[in-house]
Amino acid sequence: MTEYRRFDAPADPLSNFEPPTYRDTTAELLGEHHVGNVACQPYLSVESTCTVEEAIRELYQSGVSSLLVVEEGNLVGIFTERDVLERVAERYSRVKHLPVAEFMTSDPTIVYSEEPAAAAVAAIAIAGHRHVPVLDMDDQIEGIVSPRRVFQFIETSWD
């Protein structure tokens, strides 16, 4: 006969929990608040079949610097001013009628709205992305964060 050991959990499951300590208010804000607390709207999206010309027109007319690229409502990429400069500008007349999907950044770095706001800062600072899509836990688009929006969040949180 096999003998099993019984596990007796401590009376208080949080008895060994040590809350994190932060070196300053900014670190605490970014560690304790979710990405969803950072303004991640408005955002604009286009279908992956949209032409480069249409996407650039949307960027210009809307005064934004990035578009989320979707297929059937699901995020497949991001098209930014940087993509225009690095991948399109020199050959615009030849590629303007091609789908934006050929020039977007595929499978972009994303953050989830329930992650600490520090995750958005890491995606921006460490991964080198200026615009990071925000998804909910069902992988549906909630918005986009940028350095400006993170700074606004920090600034308004200090008030």
DSSP 43-82: --EEETTSBHHHHHHHHHHHT-SEEEEEETTEEEEEEEHH
Work out how many domains the chain is built from and give that number.
1
pLDDT value at residue 54: 99
CATH number assigned to the domain comprising residue 132: 3.10.580.10
What are residue 6's phi and psi, to 5 degrees? -90, 135
Q: Burial code of 19-58, b = ≥16 C-beta within 10 A, e = fewer?
A: eeeeeeeeeebbeebbbbebbbeebebbbbebebebbbeb
Helices 147-158 and 25-32: angle between axes, nearest 10 degrees: 110
Q: Give 132's DSSP letter.
A: E
- Per the domain annotation, does 151 fall within a domain? yes
Identify which of 63, 23, 26 has the alpha carbon closest to the alpha carbon of residue 44. Answer: 63
**Domain span holding position 148:** 35-158
- Per the domain annotation, does 17 fall within a domain? no
Identify which of 89, 125, 124 has the alpha carbon closest to the alpha carbon of residue 110. Answer: 124
pTM of the predicted model, to two decimals? Answer: 0.83
- Per the domain annotation, does 25 fall within a domain? no
- The C-alpha atoms of residue 28 and residue 21 are separated, in whole angstroms, by 8
pLDDT in tens, 53-106: 999 999 999 999 999 999 999 999 999 999 999 999 999 999 999 999 999 999
Taking residues 118-145, report their average pLDDT: 93
Taking residues 28-38, report their average pLDDT: 92
Q: How confident is the model at residue 1 (pLDDT cuts 50, 70, 90)?
A: low
pLDDT value at residue 12: 67
